[in-house]
Structure formats: structure tokens, C-alpha cells
Amino acid sequence: MQNINKYFILTLLLTGMFTSCKKKIQEAYLNPNAPTEVAVEVALPPIISSMIGNSAGHGAINDARFAGSYVQYWGNSVQSTVENSQSQYDRMGGTSGASDNAASQWRSHYYDIGQNCMNMIAKAKAEEKWDYVGVGQAIFAWSWLQLTDYHGEVILKQAFDVQRFTFNFDKEEDVYLFVRNLCKEALVNLNKTGGAVSQANLAKGDAFLYNGDVNKWKKFVNAVLARTYLHLSNKSNFVSQYADSVIYYADRSVITNADNPYVKFLATGISANSNFYGPFRNNISGLRQGKYIADIMSGRLPVFSGVADPRAWYILKRNLNNTFLGVPVYRGVAGISSANDRPLNFWGGPSASTLAPVLDTGCTYIFRNAAPMPVLTASEVLFMKAEAAYRKGDKNTALTAYTDAIRASFDMLMNDYPQNIIAGRQLTTAMRDAFVANVNVVPTAANLTLSHIMMQKYVSLFGYGALETWVDMRRYHYTDGDENSLQVYRGFAPPSGTDLYPNNNNKLVYRVRYRYNSEYVWNLDEIKRLGADAIDWHTKETWFSKP
């Protein structure tokens, strides 16, 4: 961000004396490949693409590779001591040296969405395309929230001031307030019907998410609002004030899979329109599913003891013994003694293979080239409602939302990810209903626990929701207990001893360092003022998870 501003200002200074003659040349010979003004219908598609992972690989799903290690969704297939390898994140380490690892959202938010989104909003206002204004504000609000939850303090007020060389960071609570206000502005604009509002025209720019359906965009905004309140579950006024807000916005949000926001991909054999996790882009060849997720879904852990989850055949990978095991923390596949027990890679290839297949005919779930990637889902929203109701003491409402959330997860897999499932392992409504009828999965309201809710949410968000799962785990400080002093995430064990990254100073990870090649190069004085130059900065607890 900073270097772009520097180059911009320097260019103005150097070219000012030539403005008169150059202007005449530019007017006479316009460059058709570099339009001076971009239509909102053209600006929106790359902004939507950047919500997940754009053609350059920047976006939330890139960083989810690293946060996914923090929550033990997956780990490196081979134990490594190389700096900034995936193993460093398996150990809850932060990014070190001059690497930009795990800071893709920073670049995406400020570069790819950022000014482009602001310009689109301004142009849409001038043209009275209020639907485009609302969509732009919705995306920006979602991005700001995810950014501050991921990094902590971020640059808010001065972010897009092109006259500045350095930038001050703002408090997380200021970003939260900004997000809520932006969401409310988005709802006002999405409710407008006059001017140049047109579903057909909005669909031109929104072809790869909601196809111009403003009602679905309004539900998306309400989901973001629900997140802003749920994330504050550790605040003293959560039960008295925020829990009802979570439920209120959740009820007006994405509570059916038909409203799920999916970023879609044509997958025509080019990187730009292929799923970031698919074999064509070859970004996850070294990842293998983690032991914790495999043990939950295989019924090896308390709470769901003895219950085999049939969704495993969709979202995880079996081994040659047709069971589901995962790599232990910082051990790789070598941590599983028998070769036949080691999971296949996420594209269905041999466990030891890091080669991407030419075709994705053996790939399932979000690991196909054309697989739609969820931004959030009905299942997540229903789990939010369940948790808020539970914290209020309304266990009947919590149980209903919890049950509906599990059903939504099953239905999403059945309807939207049915491709390439092994014969005989396809999900059915009967299998779904039998699963929720099992008292070890869905108990009575009186026996419902936070562990039920949070661990089933953990399963349902596998892969696509790694960043939100990391928010959840930090809210519970990874190993916090419930009202019965039982660990909420039963059986979850963060790395410890020599497995915990040495720079952590025996503390767990709570934030990700900012992008090196902008903040640490161009904004170092402010980084030092903030304390973000400390070797263990990534262990400083975020505001949202504090009491």
C-alpha cells in the first residue's frame, strides 16, 4: 500500500512540468487497453474474485492455508525446519524474515479490493446504481472485519490517503464500529429501488456470486453483522447485549443453502478462473488432513464417541485401509507409522505424492478446479445462533439451531459437492436424519454443551472456513473450559515444548504479522511504535478475544 502511494506521488512530481504537451498526446492517442474510467459492471468481478483468491493468488483462501494449520485442519506432509515453511505454522509460528507468507489478505484488502471498491462505489453513486453501491459496501465491510480479526490493529482512517508516506494503525474496536456502520449503509442502499437500480444490470458484474440478487446480498450483510457481535463473546456484556444481536441478525441472514455466497469458477484451463485449492493451481500439494479433524469425524474423541460421520467421505481423504486418520501436529505423514494408514493427498493421490493430477476427476469438495468456494454458509450462521442462544441459557433455541446447522452442512455437501464421491458413500437424507437422531450427536436440550456446538461447527467449516474457525478457537483460547470445566474443543492439543515454535516464547498464536513488503519496508517507524517488530508479535492477543 505504502509503496504504491510513494510511486504515485513521485510520478505526479516528475510529470507535472510535462502535463500540457502530454495531455494533448494522450487525448489524440487513447490507449484502449488502459481505460481512464472503468464501468462498475467491469470493476465488480475482480473485486468478488479477490474475496477468495484472485488470478494472482491473493485473497482469504491463500491465508487460510496457514490459519488452517493453527486450528489443525491440516499440516505439512513432511516435517520441516525450514523458515517460513508450512511446518512453521504447524508449530503456531508467525511469519519471519522478509517473507510475505500468510499476509495475502493484507495485499488483497488494500490493493485488489481497496481503492477499486471505493472507486466503484463512488462511480455507482454518481450513476445512481444504488445496488452496486450496496454490494461494494457489503464486500468492503466483510473484508475489513476479516482483516482486523486476522491481524489485530490495522490502518483504517488513513488507509487510502495518497498524500501520505506513512500510515497510523487504528484500534480493532474502531474497525468493528466502522464495519457495523458500513453494513447499515449497505442495507440502506440495497433497499433502494429508484435511479438506475436493475437486477439484470447488477447480474453483469455479479455473475460469479449472487447473480444480481439484492435480497441475498442483504442476507450476506446481516451475516457479517452477526459475526461482529458473536466475535465479542468474551466481553462482559455479551449475554446482556450482544447475544440477542447475534440471533436477530442471524434470523435475517443466510439460513438456507440457497442463500450461500459462493465464488464460482469456470475452470477453462487457466489459473485466473480456477479454484485456488484445485490441482490446476497446485497450491496445497504439501498439505494433509490433520489428526484432530479426522479423529472427530471417526468418533475417536469424546462428545461424538463411536459415531462415524458420513461427511468424511466428502471432505476428508481415506487411507488405503479405508479409514480416516490425519497427520499429528508437526509430524507429517511419518507420524503415522503404517504407510497404509496415511491419508491420500487432497486430490486423491498417494499420500507421499506432491504431484498435482492432470485431471481433477478424483477430486472432491472444494479441492476441484471448478468447485465453488463458500465465503460463508447457512451452517455457520445457524451455529452462530446456536452458540448465542446457548450462552443466553436458551437451550431449546440453541438445540434447534444446532440441529438445523448440521442438516444444512449435510445438504450443502449433497447438493453442491456431489462430484467424484466413491460409489456407495453418497450422502442421503436418510443418512443425514440418522446422524442427527443419534443422541451422541444431538442430545436433549438439557444435555447440549458448548462442545457439541463448537466441534460440529469446526467440522462443518472444514477447509473453506478456516479463518472463521481460527476466530472461534481464539475466542476459546484454544483450550478454555465450559461451565463444567470441560475443554470446549475436547481433545484439541496445541503444540507444546519443542514442537511449539521457539519465537513464541511459550505462548500461542493470536494474530498474523502484517505484510512485510509494505509495512516493514515503508512504514517501519509506525510498526515499531505499535510493537509489531517484536519477534513474538504474533502471540499478542487480539482485542476481540479479550474479556
Could you read off the pLDDT of 391-401 as tens digits, one per residue? 999 999 999 99
For residue 23, being part of any structural domain is answered with no
Question: Whole-angstrom Cα distance, residue 242 to residue 230?
Answer: 7
Q: Residue 30: its pLDDT value, please?
A: 56
Is residue 22 one of the residues assigned to a domain? no
Whole-prediction pTM: 0.94
Q: What is the CATH number of the domain that holds 370?
A: 1.25.40.390
Q: Which of 186, 206, 202 is nearest to 261 (CA)?
A: 206
- Give the position of cell 488502459: 34
Q: Is the pLDDT of residue 21 over 70?
A: no
| pLDDT, position 78 | 95
Is position 295 within any domain? Answer: yes
pLDDT for 29 equals 52
Q: Does position 6 have pLDDT exceeding 80, yes or no? A: no
Residue 188 lies in a domain: yes
Examine residue 253 and state whether it is found in any structural domain, yes or no.
yes
pLDDT digits (tens, 9 = 90+) for 443-479: 999 999 999 999 999 999 999 999 999 999 999 999 9
Tell me the pLDDT tens digit for each residue of 233-260. Answer: 999 999 999 999 999 999 999 999 999 9
Distance CA 139, CA 111 (A): 14
- Mind giving me the DSSP string for 267-280? -SSSGGGS-TTSTT
Residue 24, CA distances (Å) to 8, 9, 14, 21, 59 in order? 21, 22, 18, 5, 39
Tell me the C-alpha distance between 361 and 185, whole Å. Answer: 44
pLDDT of residue 37: 81
pLDDT > 70? residue 32: no
Contacts of 244 (CB under 8 A, 6+ apart): 388, 392
Amino acid identity of 89? Y
Does the pLDDT at position 413 exceed 90? yes
Look up residue 485 and give its three cell numbers.
470445566
Residue 9 domain flag: no
Which bin fits 245, alpha (ψ -120 to 50), beta or left (φ > 0)? alpha
Is there a contact between 114 and 518 (Cβ–Cβ < 8 Å)?
no
In whole angstroms, give the CA distance from residue 378 to residue 260.
6
Which structural domain, as residue segments, surrounds residue 205? Answer: 35-547
The model's confidence at residue 27, banded by pLDDT at 50, 70 and 90, is low
What is the CB neighbour count within 10 angstroms for residue 13?
A: 8
pLDDT of residue 35: 57
Q: How confident is the model over 181-198, as pLDDT tens digits?
A: 999 999 999 999 999 999
Number of domains in the chain: 1
- Look-up of cell digits 453494513: 183
User: Across the chain, what does the average pLDDT equal?
Assistant: 94
Nearest CA to 526 out of 169, 4, 159, 174 is that of 169
Instruction: Specify the pLDDT at position 57.
Output: 87
d(CA 547, CA 544): 8
pLDDT at 321 over 50: yes
Residue 19 within a domain: no
Q: Are strands 373-374 and 287-289 parallel, antiparallel or unpaired?
A: unpaired
Provide the pLDDT confidence category of residue 12 given band limits of 50, 70 and 90: very low
Query: DSSP per residue over 117-161, as a string?
Result: HHHHHHHHHHTT-HHHHHHHHHHHHHHHHHHHHHHSSB--TTTT-
DSSP conformation letters of 422-460: PTT----HHHHHHHHH-TTTS--GGG--HHHHHHHHHHH
pLDDT of residue 2: 46
Q: Is residue 24 part of a domain?
A: no
